[in-house]
């Protein structure tokens, strides 16, 4: 009977784990080189059992409805208005339970009714909530029957991306950073926009396991749906086929019809609704996404590193057998000299200022310089974009007041989002560089060389951006523009406005109650927009100053912390692995010297032991080759 994919993945991981254990056992038994730290990292990755699939996309595209449809019940808050302000982490459980999960690791149990409240309200409204007490809320944990989710696999539903509520993007970007895989939700009303392609690019910098869903297809006719599907697939493949390493498909789906099917009592009608919803095809793609995420998160890495370690052991055994097989002192001396020469050549290439080290640093610096240029040039386009948004905004003064209330958050969020896009580009280019180096082979294993580079270790950038480094604070951008009068306060940001050509202003509001002709109102709106643009200009300038330039001799800028941190980590990682390789070669050289001193009988016995080890090593190699073939076959089979 043919195994299903989940069983095949399980068997593959068990086979790889056995091979890795056998390699370590063989090296210990025969006094060969112990595996390095990268091998240990591969072992850890292989046994990982906690995976996160992030559901993301722009606001109102139906992300929460999509998750509810998969669950077969309306559990997460949805609505016509943007309702999801927090992230929801869904896991399979026999009975339902709900928790608030904080960045400090604390979990506070809540009721199902509480979940809607905490999920709809933003951080500002919840700051004084009894359970929060000023702590950062990571997500709302939802444990519920969800048979399609294997143990350890979680769906993370995000608030959404876009300009309407920029604070949502901060939560979504944070969630994407934890993604092992992702599902992008787009509604059928329009082709994918440029801003959405930017979100997808950020996601691809974190994981290549991304599937694409076109939601709400029941709201349009078949011709429109197919046209949108075709156009979206063209856009996605043009931008990301090479990154993804596959042809990208978008799956049509209707959350509404699938939820309807869940409540349908007639089996025939239920089957029709599920088919019309696109569930059968979609569910197959989701299963493929899960299986590939679980099977390949560590499987391929473990397989490749095991093969590399096999080669190390095989080479050491061959050298020892050659040394032990000759009694000629001159021949033994030649073997020792050849080993010493290889060690000297290795140190020449990988030692301080070695050719390979210089080449690696140059390639890393090329990536970082590109990132630095992008960061330096990001502010003018951002200002221009928001300025155009202000110019095109409604002249209705109540609407302008609402927009002004959100303007500081919009600026902060757009800066952070663009910065994070650049950071993700840098990290993605570094990972690509690592893959190229690994594919080229060489004495030093570079698998995992750059994996330790992360935002936390290189200066805590996210905390610095969202924790006040943008320079937004009371009075930070107050200015008198042509005798401007301060009429109000936007959040904690004092916003200057020009004198209004109306009756006395209503102090405490951003604008007064205005009367008069339409022309006067338009003039007032224009003056107010001009004030907002002035505020925008000064705020962007403050962001640029605080993020790119160091505040003092002792305190580097966040940009410097990030790029210098990467350089330091690459240098440290390279030095550590070179030192590991050097130690291994020194141990092998000392071992060869010891073998050269053995008498004939001792040498004969040792050769017999080494031949037995070589035979066992050949068995392990065959198992690893089989595992690699099975992994590649699975990769080709799993389509999403």
Question: What global pTM score does this model have?
Answer: 0.74
* Buried residues in 612-635 as b, exposed as e (16+ CB within 10 A): ebbebbeebbebbeebbebbeebe
Q: pLDDT band for position 549 (50/70/90)?
A: confident
Mean pLDDT of the chain: 80
Residues across the chain? 640
Q: Name, in order, each residue with C-beta under 8 angstroms of 212's C-beta and a sequence gap of 6 or more.
A: 183, 184, 186, 232, 236, 248, 249, 250, 251
CA dihedral in degrees (259, 257, 81, 229; nearest 10)?
130
Widest distance between CA atoms in the chain: 112
Predicted confidence (pLDDT) per residue in 482-536, tens digit:
222 222 222 333 333 222 222 223 223 333 333 444 677 788 888 889 999 999 9
Q: What is the CATH topology of the domain spanning 49-297?
A: Rossmann fold (3.40.50)
**Predicted pLDDT of residue 372:** 93
pLDDT score, position 513 = 35
CA 590/CA 294 separation, integer angstroms: 42
pLDDT at 168: 65
Q: 122-128, long-range: CB within 8 Å, 24+ apart, which pairs?
A: 122/85, 122/165, 122/167, 123/85, 123/167, 124/167
Report the 3 state secondary structure along 544-578: HHHHHCCCCCCCCCHHHHHHHHHHHHHHHHHHHHH
What pLDDT score was predicted for residue 460? 41
**What tens digit of pLDDT does each residue of 404-433 get?**
888 888 888 788 778 877 887 887 788 777
Q: For residue 129, how far is the Cα from the chain centroid?
A: 30
Q: Residue 129's pLDDT is what?
A: 61
Mean pLDDT of 122-127: 50
| pLDDT computed for residue 227 by the predictor | 92
Which range, of 23-37, 162-176, 236-250, 424-438, averages the lowest pLDDT?
162-176
pLDDT at 483: 24
* Cα 339 to Cα 86: distance, rounded to the nearest angstrom: 60
Comparing 81-95, 175-189, 238-252, 618-632, which segment has the lowest mean pLDDT? 81-95
Q: What is the pLDDT of residue 616?
A: 95
pLDDT of 388 higher than 90: yes
Task: Please state the domain extents for the chain.
Answer: 49-297, 350-597
Confidence of residue 453 (pLDDT cuts 50, 70, 90): very low
- Which region among 18-27, 149-158, 384-393, 582-591 has the lowest average model confidence (pLDDT)? 582-591
Q: What pLDDT was estimated at residue 24?
A: 96
Q: How confident is the model at residue 343 (pLDDT cuts 50, 70, 90)?
A: confident
Question: What are the tens digits of pLDDT across the range 587-636?
Answer: 888 888 888 888 888 889 999 999 999 999 999 999 999 999 998 888 88
H or E segment and range at residue 11? helix 5-29
In this prediction, what percent of the chain has a pLDDT beyond 90?
Answer: 30
Summarize pLDDT for 140-180 with one digit per residue, the tens.
999 999 988 988 899 999 887 654 455 566 677 777 777 88
Average pLDDT, stretch 355-382?
91
| Res 578: pLDDT | 83
Angle (CA) 45-50-54 rounded to 5° is 110
* Three-class DSSP labels, 522-550: HHHHHHHHHHHHHHHHHHHHHHHHHHHCC
């Amino acid at each position: 009977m043919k195994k299903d994919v989940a069983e095949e993945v399980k068997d593959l991981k068990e086979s790889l784990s056995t091979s890795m254990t056998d390699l370590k056992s063989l090296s210990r038994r025969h006094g060969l080189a112990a595996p390095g730290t990268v091998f240990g990292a591969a072992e850890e990755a292989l046994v990982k059992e906690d995976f996160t699939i992030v559901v993301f996309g722009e606001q109102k595209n139906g992300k929460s409805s999509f998750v509810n449809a998969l669950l077969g019940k309306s559990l997460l808050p949805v609505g016509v208005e943007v309702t999801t302000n927090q992230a929801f982490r869904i896991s399979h459980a026999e009975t339902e339970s709900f928790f608030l999960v904080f960045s400090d690791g604390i979990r506070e149990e809540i009721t199902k009714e509480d979940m809607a409240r905490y999920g709809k309200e933003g951080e500002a409204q919840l700051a004084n909530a009894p359970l929060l007490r000023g702590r950062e809320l990571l997500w709302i944990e939802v444990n519920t029957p969800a048979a399609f989710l294997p143990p350890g696999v979680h769906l993370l539903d995000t608030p959404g991306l876009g300009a309407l509520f920029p604070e949502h993007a901060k939560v979504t970007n944070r969630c994407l950073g934890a993604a092992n895989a992702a599902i992008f939700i787009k509604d059928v009303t329009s082709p994918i926009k440029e801003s959405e392609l930017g979100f997808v690019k950020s996601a691809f910098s974190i994981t290549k396991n991304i599937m694409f869903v076109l939601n709400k297809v029941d709201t349009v006719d078949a011709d429109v749906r197919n046209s949108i599907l075709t156009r979206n697939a063209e856009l996605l493949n043009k931008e990301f086929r090479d990154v993804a390493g596959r042809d990208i498909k978008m799956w049509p789906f209707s959350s509404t019809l699938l939820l309807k099917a869940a409540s349908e009592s007639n089996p025939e009608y239920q089957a029709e609704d599920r088919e019309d919803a696109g569930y059968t095809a979609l569910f197959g793609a989701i299963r493929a996404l899960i299986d590939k995420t679980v099977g390949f998160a560590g499987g391929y890495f473990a397989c490749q590193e095991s093969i590399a370690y096999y080669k190390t052991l095989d080479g050491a055994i061959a050298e020892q057998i050659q040394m032990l097989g000759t009694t000629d002192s001159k021949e033994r001396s030649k073997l020792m000299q050849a080993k010493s020469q290889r060690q000297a050549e290795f140190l020449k290439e990988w030692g301080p200022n070695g050719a390979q080290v210089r080449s690696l640093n140059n390639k890393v610096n090329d990536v970082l310089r590109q990132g630095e240029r992008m960061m330096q040039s990001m502010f003018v386009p951002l200002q221009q974009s928001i300025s155009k948004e202000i110019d095109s905004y409604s002249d209705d003064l109540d609407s302008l007041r609402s927009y002004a209330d959100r303007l500081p958050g919009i600026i902060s969020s757009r800066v952070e989002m663009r910065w994070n896009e650049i950071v993700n580009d840098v990290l993605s280019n570094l990972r690509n560089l690592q893959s190229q180096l690994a594919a080229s082979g060489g004495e030093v294993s570079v698998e995992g060389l750059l994996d330790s580079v992360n935002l936390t270790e290189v200066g805590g950038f996210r905390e610095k951006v969202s924790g006040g480094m943008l320079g937004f604070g009371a009075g930070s951008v107050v200015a008198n523009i042509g005798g401007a009068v301060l009429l109000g306060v936007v959040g904690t940001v004092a916003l200057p406005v020009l004198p209004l050509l109306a009756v006395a202003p209503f102090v405490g509001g951003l604008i007064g109650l205005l009367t008069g002709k339409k022309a006067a109102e338009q003039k007032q709106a224009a003056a107010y927009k001009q004030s907002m643009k002035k505020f925008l200009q000064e705020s962007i300038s403050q962001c640029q100053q605080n993020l790119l330039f160091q505040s003092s001799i002792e305190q580097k800028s966040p940009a410097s912390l990030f790029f210098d941190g990467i350089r330091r980590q690459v240098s440290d990682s390279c030095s550590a692995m070179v030192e590991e390789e050097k130690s291994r070669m020194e141990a092998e050289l000392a071992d060869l010297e010891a073998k050269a001193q053995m008498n004939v009988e001792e040498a004969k016995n040792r050769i017999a032991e080494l031949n037995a080890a070589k035979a066992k090593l050949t068995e392990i190699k065959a198992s690893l080759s089989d595992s690699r073939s099975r992994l590649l076959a699975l990769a080709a089979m799993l389509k999403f």
